Amino acid sequence: MVGVIVQEAKIDQMQTALLVIGIFENERDFSKSKGLNSTITAAIIELIENKEFKRSFGSNIIFHMMGKGLIKKIMLIGLGTREKFTDEEARIIAGKAALKAKELGVEEFCILPFMDVDEALIEAISEGVLLSLYSFNRYKTRGKEATTTPAQATIVVNSDSAKFQAVVDKVNLITQAVNYARDLSNLPPNECPPSQLASLALALDGEYGIKTRILERYEMESIGLNGIVSVGKGSNNPPKLIILEYYGNADHQKPYLLVGKAVTFDTGGISLKPGDKMDEMKFDKCGGCSVLGILKAIASLGLPVNVIGIIPSVENMPSSTSFRPGDIIRMYNGKTVEILNTDAEGRIILADAMAYGVAMYNPQAIIDLATLTGACVIALGANVAAVIGTSKYLAERLSKISEKTGERIWDLPLHDEYHEQIKSTVADLKNIGGRPGGAITAAAFLSNFTNDIPWVHLDIAGTAWTQDGTFERSYNPKGATGFGVRTMVKFLMEVPNK
Ligand code: BES
Ligand code: MG
Ligand code: ZN
């Protein structure tokens, strides 16, 4: 695994197999601002004048220094125009450079920050490197040894290296948690039934003060978590309720409750899904895996917050023991739900988990993460998650933070009228609201289980893994993205201490 460090150095002192230099399209006098020597400057000018290096966003060229100095090779990478260059572009470019370094087979490489350094730029560059070099190859028996990942990336600065190293140290912990969430999410469904997810969560018990416990099916039955039990009925792999507690704040701060959907495989149940792309429903556990990643990150950072993570985990299967359309379930909080489609299972298990969390922990706020609806992907596409809920404050904070993290989030409304769509004629609620506004009616359903505690729901159906319509981004390799971990950790870093 790659490690990122920050170092203060002048260009002529740097000994490296590969130096990455980014240049803007409209940048003049880059030589001075980057502290380049005359040999390197002359080479770059020639490549630009010959139109071999165009400086458009992401374009790149590699040349050898032929023994002139301590740098073996240089990678020039185009940064596009300065006006369009934000932290997200820095993340993407750093990721591209890291992937190129891997392709070249170098053991280490250096990056010159692309412009005047500040903490946000260092953060973005290190995130790009650490997230792009992730790959899931646990199940590849051949070719594992053939690809060497660079062991070290050095960000070269001309001052304040200690301050910037502290930023990178935090990014190291956070990206490790993102990659951990990706690793769990990418597990195939045969190797990750609810019991396996529960064991993996138990491995976090005791780590940096996290407490983990698992509620078994019989316990859920006895306390009335009938939503989770019902959805899990069709599978031989019993459901589990994973509960994590992290108390980093001694000042009696009411906890934040994070709830993550972890359907280890969603066939749709008796309302069976069509076969096309059904394999992707192994990613229906991504919300829960992100919650595990968030807990791991905040605990390893030692954040002064109290956080409870609750992850209902089930396998949604069709069988003679499955729950069915027509069933009426009495949920943990006493409300009754008429099932009209067993494929709308996520809201059932989340609702029980939220109601349980509310009753046990009296949280100050609830945030749930779930691959909840295909309708969300129709509404916002595969690059933006939806935020829907009852707390304008939470929705605005998360949207704002998402602009920095690049984990795009957009809010959808939750007007009173949406609740009409999920009223049942025979029970309090029904579990589907028809096609119009499908992502919103799913959230309207969940709002019945929050006990009026400030709450938002993140529908990550489009963004939790790379799918049809996902934009190519260097730092999101194929498969699970770990969406939500970075944004939620930033949110929890910034919450008031009460
Ligand atoms: N896990 C799916 C949602 C989903 C579908 C996520 C496709 C990502 C891609 C969820 O359990 C589901 O099946 N939802 C149904 C709800 C419908 C029956 C009201 C859906 O979106 O089709
Ligand atoms: Mg479903
Ligand atoms: Zn599902």
Q: Nearest residue CA, atom 6 of ligand 1?
A: 461
Q: What is the pLDDT of residues 174-183, one digit of tens each?
A: 999 999 999 9
Q: What is the pLDDT of residues 198-234, one digit of tens each?
A: 999 999 999 999 999 999 999 999 999 999 999 999 9
- The pLDDT profile of the chain, 498 residues, written as one tens digit per residue, is 899 999 999 999 999 999 999 999 988 889 998 999 999 999 999 999 999 999 999 999 999 999 989 999 999 999 999 999 999 999 999 999 999 999 999 999 999 999 999 999 999 999 999 999 999 999 999 766 556 899 999 999 999 999 999 999 999 999 999 999 999 999 999 999 999 999 999 999 999 999 999 999 999 999 999 999 999 999 999 999 999 999 999 989 999 999 999 999 999 999 999 999 999 999 999 999 999 999 999 999 999 999 999 999 999 999 999 999 999 999 999 999 999 999 999 999 999 999 999 999 999 999 999 999 999 999 999 999 999 999 999 999 999 999 999 999 999 999 999 999 999 999 999 999 999 999 999 999 999 999 999 999 999 999 999 999 999 999 999 999 999 999 999 999 999 988
22 phi/psi in degrees, rounded to 5:
-100, 140
Q: Give the global pTM.
A: 0.98
Point out the residues that are catalytic: 273, 347
Tell which atom from ligand 1 comes closest to the C-alpha of 432: 19
CA-based radius of gyration for the chain: 24
Instruction: Count CB-CB contacts under 10 A for residue 162.
Output: 9
In one-letter notation, the amino acid at residue 249 is N
Ligand 1 cavity residues, CB under 6 Å: 266, 284, 341, 343-346, 371-375, 377, 432, 438, 461
d(CA 388, CA 404): 20
3-class state of residue 338 by DSSP: strand
b/e sequence 228-242, b meaning 16+ C-beta within 10 Å? bbbbbbbbebbbbbb
Nearest to 285 by CA among 324, 245, 237: 237
d(CA 370, CA 287): 5
d(CA 304, CA 246): 10
Tell which atom from ligand 1 comes closest to the C-alpha of 376: 21
> How far apart are the CA of 271 and the centre of ligand 3, in A?
12
Of the bound ligands, which one is closest to the alpha carbon of residue 318?
2
Tell which atom from ligand 1 comes closest to the C-alpha of 467: 9
